[in-house]
């Protein structure tokens, strides 16, 4: 009897740890999806001030510069020092984000909700998440927008340099016929 209880102890501890970690992931998912919803609302409303507050521009520049350099190398192009700050900043605007309904491909009439975002989100750890979508050439999932928890809020630190179309599912709970 005692031997059986000792065998169950590690299993119970593992189960408790798994549940605690899953709970943390749920908290991160909920918190991040609310932060991302605020960011995408700023994009949808073309609110430059809220947009700038929700991005880490130096991190975005670095991310985009690296992606463009990799694209150039893949095409055997010498890109030198890479894109200029001006060119990169023109890519980092609310107009660069195409928000569409996944089923129809139509532009979203309203900003996506946190619930919609949570359905497309991947949690990497408690400080890094991404909004994922299908890669156009393979259909596999890829991160389109990467966010990091910085200064108490979620900030955009990476974005897909090409083919940036964010497909969001219908709002959970709404019927398909609406």
What pLDDT score was predicted for residue 79?
63
**Rounded to whole angstroms, how far apart are CA atoms 43 and 93?**
8
What pLDDT was estimated at residue 147?
Answer: 98
Q: For 131, what's the count of Cα atoms within 13 Å in the CB-facing half-sphere?
A: 32
Going from the first residue of the chain to its last (178 residues), give the mean pLDDT of each consecutive group of 10, the final group possibly shorter.
47 38 66 97 96 96 90 72 80 92 90 94 96 81 94 94 84 55
Specify the DSSP class assigned to residue 134.
E
Question: Which pLDDT score is estimated for 76?
Answer: 73
Query: Looking at residue 132, what is its pLDDT?
Result: 93
| pLDDT at 138 (0 to 100) | 75
- CB contact burial 11-35 (16+ within 10 A = b; e otherwise): eeeeeeeeeeeeeeeeebbebbbbb
Query: Rounded to two decimals, what is the model's pTM?
Result: 0.77
pLDDT attached to residue 5: 42
Return d(Cα 69, Cα 94) in angstroms, integer: 23
In the chain, where the domains are located: 2-168
Please give the pLDDT value at position 38: 97
* Length of the chain in terms of residues written: 178
Which pLDDT value is given to residue 73? 76
Pairing of strands 121-125, 128-134: antiparallel
């Amino acid at each position: 009897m005692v031997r059986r209880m000792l065998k169950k102890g590690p299993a119970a501890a593992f189960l408790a740890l798994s549940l605690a970690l899953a709970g943390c992931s749920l908290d991160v998912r909920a918190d991040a999806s609310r932060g991302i919803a605020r960011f995408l609302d700023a994009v949808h409303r073309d609110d430059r001030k809220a947009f700038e507050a929700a991005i880490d521009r130096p991190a975005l520049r670095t991310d985009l510069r690296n992606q463009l350099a990799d694209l150039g190398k893949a095409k055997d192009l010498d890109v030198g020092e890479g894109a200029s700050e001006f060119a990169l900043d023109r890519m980092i605007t609310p107009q660069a984000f195409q928000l569409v309904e996944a089923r129809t491909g139509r532009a979203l009439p309203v900003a996506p909700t946190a619930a919609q975002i949570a359905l497309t989100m991947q949690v990497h750890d408690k400080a890094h998440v991404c909004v994922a979508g299908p890669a156009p050439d393979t259909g596999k999932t890829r991160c389109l927008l990467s966010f990091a928890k910085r200064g108490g809020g979620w900030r955009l630190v990476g974005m897909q340099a090409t083919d940036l179309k964010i497909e969001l599912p219908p709002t959970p709970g709404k019927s398909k016929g609406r």
